[in-house]
Every structure is written in C-alpha cells, then in structure tokens.
Amino acid sequence: MVQERDNNEWIAALQADGPLREAALSDLRGMLLIGLKTALKSRSDFVDSLLDDFVQDSLVRILRSLDQFQNRSRFVTWATAIAIRVALTELRKRRWRDVSLETLVADTGFEPSAAETSPDRESQPIIEAMYRIIGSDLTEKQRTVLLAEIKGMAQEEIARQMGSSRNALYKLSHDARQRLKQGLEKAGFTAQEYAITIS
C-alpha cells in the first residue's frame, strides 16, 4: 500500500538513507508506472515492455533534480511530468534509430511531399521555393540537417548519425535556416510570409 506523503515528506524521504528512502522509491516507482501507462496508452509506438526502463530512467532523473522542485504543484505531479518527458524523448529516439539520414533525404528528393504541403494555396509557392533553395543553395550537410529536421528527426539522432556534437549540429542548422531565409527574401517573400514555414 502506497504511503500518503506531502511534498516535504517526499523530498525528505527520497533524500534519506535506508528503509525510509527505499519505501519512498518503491511508492514513487508504482505511481510513475501508473502515470506513464495512462499518459502513453494511446500512442502506437508504445508497448508495456518499455515501462520499466522508462521508470528507471525517470527515477534517476528525478533524484538528480530534487533540488529543482519548487513546491508549485504536488510532488507526484512534478515527478510524473518528468517521467513523461523522459519516455517521450526515448520513444522519439527509438522511432528514428533504424532510419538512416541518407534514406530520409533521398526519399525527399527536394520536392515537398503531400504531407508537407499545406491545403492553404497561399503557402504553396513558399513551400515550393523553400525546397528549390534547399536543393540548390545549401551545402550538402546543411541540406541533410534541414531536411531531416523538416521530416521530424530529433537533433540528437541527426547529430549521432552525422558523427557531430549537438553544438556543431545546432550551428549547422542555424546557418542552413539563415541561408534559406535569405533565399526566400531574394525570391521576393517577406519574413511574415515565410515565418510559419521556417520555425
């Protein structure tokens, strides 16, 4: 049976040693299992066998972050929010783990797919210009990063596959977006027109 605790009791128990801490960890583990199962049940990429790993990773993150808890909500709500972020990040990573950058970029062919085009006819010329610029004005690395981001691949995974650091990838992505914006402006589009397309 889970012991009732207020916020201060949770923090004190998790920072303690011995049986008090073990009991709090056990209770928190159980609550996170329930919270994650509820939060992730509608996702097609989620299977129950991942729960234990998600909870374990979350507990490590929560214990490292105890000093960041600001008492603005219930402790369990705060801990569950951390666990959900940990799980979603891991699911995103798993989604792209077996997808190569080469395949992802090759599938694009610098033409917007139906999923990337907007039903709004006004934005269609911007999207077409954007893909034209990506295909002709960017370096190969800039093109790869930008297309992978457009397709939804996480920067962490792009960096891993390119053998790059997150900071170097951020700079590459920033430079690619700047070049794309300059190309769109040169093509006659205003910042207001392309702001939605390039986030």
pLDDT tens-digit readout, 119-146: 455 667 888 888 888 888 999 899 889 8
HEC per residue, 37-93: HHHHCCCCCCCHHHHHHHHHHHHHHHHHCHHHCCCCCCHHHHHHHHHHHHHHHHHHH
> Is 117 a residue whose pLDDT tops 70?
no
pLDDT reported for residue 113: 46
Sign of CA dihedral 38, 40, 46, 49: negative
Same domain, 81 and 109: no
DSSP tag of 112: -
Residue 54 sits in a domain whose CATH number is: 1.10.1740
Same domain, 127 and 148: yes
Residue 124 lies in a domain: yes
pLDDT tens-digit readout, 7-30: 999 999 999 999 999 999 999 999
Rounded Cα distance between 37 and 181, Å, is 42
Model pTM above 0.85? no
Rounded Cα distance between 105 and 162, Å, is 13
Distance, C-alpha 193 to centroid of its chain: 26
How many structural domains is the chain composed of? 2
Residue 199 lies in a domain: no
Rounded Cα distance between 110 and 108, Å, is 5
> Is 115 a residue whose pLDDT tops 80?
no
pLDDT reported for residue 116: 45
> Is 193 a residue whose pLDDT tops 60?
yes
Domain housing 118: 101-194
- Tokens 């011995």, residue located: 18
Residue 2 lies in a domain: no
Mean of the per-residue pLDDT values for the chain?
Answer: 84
Query: Which stretch of 27-36, 79-88, 128-137 has the lowest confidence by average pLDDT?
Result: 128-137
Same domain, 16 and 92: yes
pLDDT tens-digit readout, 93-112: 777 777 777 777 775 544 44
- pLDDT confidence bin for 74, thresholds 50/70/90: very high
Question: 188 to each of 6, 21, 111, 180, how far by Cα in Å?
Answer: 59, 63, 20, 13
103 burial level (CB within 10 Å; 0-12, 13-18, 19+): exposed
pLDDT reported for residue 122: 61
The full DSSP string for 123-159 is GHHHHHHHHHHHHHHS-HHHHHHHHHHHHT--HHHHH
